[in-house]
Amino acid sequence: MAAMPAANGKARVFSGIQPSGFLHIGNFLGAIRNWVRDQDRYDNIFCIVDLHALTLPIEPGALREQRLDLAATLIAAGIDPQRSALFLQSDVSAHSELAWILECFTPMGWLERMTAFKEKAGRQSDERVGAGLFNYPALMAADILLYDTNFVPVGEDQRQHLELTRDLAQRLNKRYGEIFVLPEPLIKQAGARIMGLDDPEKKMSKSVAAGAPGHAIGLMDPPDAVRRKFARAQTDTEPAVRFPAGAGVLNLLEIYRTVRELDPEAVRAEFEGRQYSALKQAVAEAVIEVLAPLQARYRTVRQDDAALLRTLKESAQRIEPTARATLARVQRAVGLR
């Protein structure tokens, strides 16, 4: 199916983020900041994927609160619900309905190859891993395909899920005619893969951060915590920055250049030969500078639960007809209508 531009002539962007509690600078630099930046360029739909958050154990009260925390964080970061749809996945039931159909067409082998599943499931025993964690990519494909999405801005860790989404769309298009628009990943060079501060061989992740306080900088971390975590970040045994540098140093340089919007060569030249402590301090101050205004706005926006819920519902109502139209198209194609 030819990519159908939205009514305003702009290409459609869809992206999602889990309300699983702790948000870190990887989420911000790899995704949220880019969503905010390109808000006028595209017709945007941003989704708080609360159904996905059920794939790992979570308390009901926590899920309820974290959805609002995330909505307030996204608004504080600059997502403008007047310009971009911002909604809860569970408010549009077409996500669950299309996910079931897609699961029936997704080979188990494709799902078994997903590294995100292997990493998350690997930490738990087989008896405890829910089938939802395994089927997760089919729900993600449903999210994207429901809205005739052209581009999906994400961090590098989501590339494999995007490939599965495309494969699945192509598989159904081949069998039933052009029912889906083929989405493309939008992954920026800078900030697409921020690594853990305690272990720069592993990507910074919400689930690891839960058990390792030095692993990630949280978007709500106060300045002293940011300074302390960077000061303890793992580097190598050299006292000063030399190239080729180790993974820990490269990660700090990457965070710095992404936050400050500099190119890699300029940052290399700025820090070559300088002590690690100087680099760590510079990164910490740069990060504090972007987090401070975000945190201040968050405190204001988060005060009004009713207003947040209203905003989320209004967006859901605005976009639901598109989702239902796609679902109906698929239901007709497979014989459910």
> Distance between CA 201 and CA 169 in Å, rounded?
33
Report the residue number whose CB is nearest to ligand TYM: 30
Residues between 29 and 88 that touch ligand TYM (CB under 6 A): 30-31, 49, 52
- Strands 184-186, 151-153: parallel, antiparallel or unpaired by DSSP? parallel
* 229 included as an active-site residue: no
Q: In whole angstroms, how large is the CA radius of gyration of the chain?
A: 21
> For residues 234 and 200, is the Cβ–Cβ distance under 8 A?
yes
Q: What angle do CA 173, 175, 178 make, to 5 degrees?
A: 25
Considering only the stretches 121-129, 136-144, 265-273, 309-317, report the one whose residues sit in contact with ligand TYM under the rule CB under 6 A.
136-144
Which of 12, 21, 22, 27 lies at the binding interface for ligand TYM (CB under 6 A)? Answer: 27
* Minimum separation from the CB atom of position 274 to ligand TYM (A): 25
Span from 105-113, 200-208, 319-327, 328-336 in contact with ligand TYM (CB under 6 A):
200-208
Give yes or no: 203 in active site: yes
Residue 120 annotated to the active site? yes
Q: Which listed residue (118, 188, 203, 313) is catalytic?
A: 203
d(Cα 241, Cα 224) in Å, to the nearest integer?
A: 24
Q: What share of the chain is helix, strand, coil (3-state, %, to 5)?
A: 55, 10, 35
200 binds ligand TYM (CB under 6 A): no
Choosing from 17, 88, 209, 249, the residue that interacts with ligand TYM (CB under 6 A) is 17
Q: Which residue has the tokens 């971390």?
A: 221
Residue of the chain from 10, 113, 171, 193 that contacts ligand TYM (CB under 6 A)? 193
| By CB under 6 A, residue 145 contacts ligand TYM | no
Closest Cα to residue 48, out of 25, 26, 24, 79? Answer: 79
Distance CA(41)–CA(59), nearest Å, equals 38
The site for ligand TYM (CB under 6 A) is made up of 14-18, 26-27, 30-31, 49, 52, 140, 143-144, 152, 154-155, 157-158, 161, 192-194, 203-205
Q: Which residues are catalytic?
A: 120, 203, 206
